[in-house]
Amino acid sequence: MDALKLISDQSLKAEMPVINVGDTVKVHCKIQEGDKSRIQIFEGTVIAKKHGGINETFTVRRVAYGCGIERVFPVHSPNVAKVEVVRSGRVRRSKLYYLRDRVGKAAKVKEKIG
């Protein structure tokens, strides 16, 4: 058990920004296409955070061309190059699944001031 904990502690990322539910983030993901790799940016609202430690994930939702897209990113994955927090949101829930049913301005999250 101690060996597993040791390995998981070594693979944790040191410099990760604080990501909270309701924040709008830009996630820079590494995409492998054949022998080439590139970085693709996925921008959206964090609607959920799950688990903890090495297994920690966060779900990002965006609406593109009228279609809602959600992606789940492991926080400590080597395929997640960088996470930028664009703006902080003011929410009172730990999971924002209710945003799936909302359209347009009703799906916006208010910005945290201060």
pLDDT digits (tens, 9 = 90+) for 1-55: 688 888 888 888 888 889 999 999 999 999 999 999 999 999 999 999 999 888 9
Tens-digit pLDDT profile for residues 89-110: 999 999 999 999 999 999 999 9
Q: What is the pLDDT of residue 47?
A: 98
In angstroms, rounded to a whole number, what is the distance separating the alpha carbons of residues 6 and 1?
Answer: 9
Q: What is the pLDDT of residue 40?
A: 97
Q: What is the pLDDT of residue 13?
A: 82
Per the listing, tokens 């609406």 go with 63
To which H or E segment does residue 10 belong? helix 2-10
CATH of range 20-95; options 2.30.30.790, 2.60.120.260, 3.40.50.2030, 1.10.357.10: 2.30.30.790
Spatial contact of 64 and 108, defined as CB atoms under 8 Å apart: no
Residue 112 has pLDDT above 80, yes or no: yes
